[in-house]
Amino acid sequence: MLTRRNFLQSTLASCCLPALDRLSRAEGVGCDRTAWYRQAKFGMFIHWGPYSQASVEASWPIMVPKPGGITEAEYRALPKTFNPTRFDPDAWVDLARQAGQKYMVFTTKHHDGFCMFDSAYTDYKITNTPYGKDIVAQLAHACHQDEMPIGFYYSPPDMHHPGFRDTSKPASENWHGQPERPEWSSYLAYMQQQLRELLTHYGPVALIWFDGLNNQEKYDGAHVLRMIAELQPATLVNDRLGVDGDYETPEQFIPTAIPTKGVHLTGIDPSVSNKLKTTVPSPEDFRLWETCMTINDTWAYNKNDHHYKSARTLIRALVEVASRGGNLLLNVGPQPDGQIQPEFQDRLKAIGAWLTLNGDSIYGTTYGPVQNVDGLRTTAGPKAIYVHIFNWTPPLCTLRGIDARVLSARLLANGAPLTFRQTERKLDIDIPQSAPDQDVSVIALNLF
């Protein structure tokens, strides 16, 4: 039987390996391809394009138009005025660093088909705007200079390409794609050509983040995965191409239990998480996963959306995700001029400040041995368990379910030692009257 102590040792041995040089990994040096990703835990998602000028979501206004909203013709005309003269890729990377984020994922092409890179296979691209420069090239260069892993979001659906759908009709009529048409093969070739560009022109690519929407099998995913593996063997791929990828991608929700193999999350329907078991799985059964989430209610910049999640809510979301072994990919939608709005910056920096003191409880950890307890979450690190307390209730914190022998306890934020008493059934920790952190306080338990 797998004891919690053995579970901790075996899980941490597999997921807490130090990140190796990216080139070495690409050359196939013996290392788990996902090791850096498991270590990272927290990344920045970036949705940006000409649509930011209209304060509308990427693509959806032409796929599912709303009465009185932007027309498809107006949406299509947005690239003609897109000129983000204040775009500074180094500032973006610096903000991600300040937030404690360990990788970035950028939308190279959304469902509308507009390319933020200088693709040789279309004229519908950033280099044909007033701005005229390759955004992806600039961001990739800045990331590589700062040793920040960069991944590329790429949408298989494409409202602009005549092989994907009959473009003589409104996108709202056939946005699901038309694989039954003879032109479909031309679209698959186009998609593969663009992926080759992204994987050969922009340096090491940490991951490809597909967003396949419905009926993902129509994109010949098995062939695409083989192509990616041939071009960049270390590149990770998510689960939205109709074939099994390296990790699951629940969207705008956090699974209520630890994802395991054999249970696939759609990325858009939180009800599937009810199929997950609430027990702590073995490392062999664990399914790597990542929640993507917005800071307000929209992915793209929207000057009218002021429904911002608080820094506390976002910090606790990061803890929730890490406590179940996942990553959090937190989105920003830059402004039309290329800057990231102050409300996003403030919240990202607040998360970074919390991670400066408490990062050991997130980075390089996996799901903790104590699950589904109101008011607290646990993560497991090398020879340690981290107890994240949402509801600080002095003078005692009581834990049940820690079988490993605890050698010492301390407050992670300031290192203050804590007294405790451990029996076979529970662990009682004496805690001070005041919480060391107003958002989430962390106790580090060093194990035998």
pLDDT value of residue 264? 79
| pLDDT mean for each 10 residues of the chain (448 residues) | 36 34 36 92 98 98 97 98 98 98 98 98 98 98 98 98 98 98 98 98 98 95 98 97 95 94 76 74 94 98 98 98 98 98 98 98 97 96 96 96 96 97 96 96 97
Do 313 and 436 lie in one domain? The reply is: no
333, 349, 364: which is the final residue of a domain? Answer: 364
pLDDT value of residue 19? 33
Range(s) of the domain holding residue 79: 17-247+288-364
Q: Is residue 30 part of a domain?
A: yes
With tokens 């990216």, the residue in question is 22
Do 109 and 158 lie in one domain? The reply is: yes
Cβ density class 355-392: b for 16+ within 10 Å, e for less: bebbbbbbbbbbbbbbbeeeebbbbbbeebbbbbbbeb
**Strand-pair partners of 43:** 103, 329
Say which CATH number the domain at 396 has. 2.60.40.1180
| DSSP 8-state code for residue 208 | E
Do 314 and 415 lie in one domain? The reply is: no
Do 332 and 417 lie in one domain? The reply is: no
pLDDT value of residue 279? 82
pLDDT value of residue 271? 66
Which residues have a Cβ under 8 Å from the Cβ of 104 and sit 6 or more positions away? 43, 44, 46, 92, 93, 96, 139, 143, 148, 149, 150, 151
pLDDT value of residue 278? 73
364, 399, 432: which is the final residue of a domain? Answer: 364
Please report, for residues 98, 103, 312, the alpha-carbon distance to residue 94 in angstroms, rounded to integers and kept in the order given.
Answer: 6, 12, 22
Do 327 and 378 lie in one domain? The reply is: no
d(CA 140, CA 106): 9
pLDDT value of residue 276? 76
Q: Is residue 426 part of a domain?
A: yes
Please report, for residues 129, 134, 186, 379, the alpha-carbon distance to residue 82 in angstroms, rounded to integers and kept in the order given.
Answer: 6, 13, 29, 44
3-class state of residue 189 by DSSP: helix
Do 302 and 386 lie in one domain? The reply is: no
Q: pTM (2 decimals)?
A: 0.93
**The total number of structural domains that make up the chain:** 2
Q: Is residue 5 part of a domain?
A: no
Do 158 and 242 lie in one domain? The reply is: yes
Say which CATH number the domain at 326 has. 3.20.20.80
d(CA 90, CA 346): 18
pLDDT value of residue 262? 84
Do 319 and 436 lie in one domain? The reply is: no
Do 303 and 391 lie in one domain? The reply is: no
Do 154 and 302 lie in one domain? The reply is: yes
DSSP per residue, 389-423: ESS--TTEEEE----SPEEEEEETTT--EE-EEE-
First to last CA, the chain: 20
Q: Is residue 2 part of a domain?
A: no
Do 233 and 378 lie in one domain? The reply is: no
pLDDT in tens, 177-194: 999 999 999 999 999 999
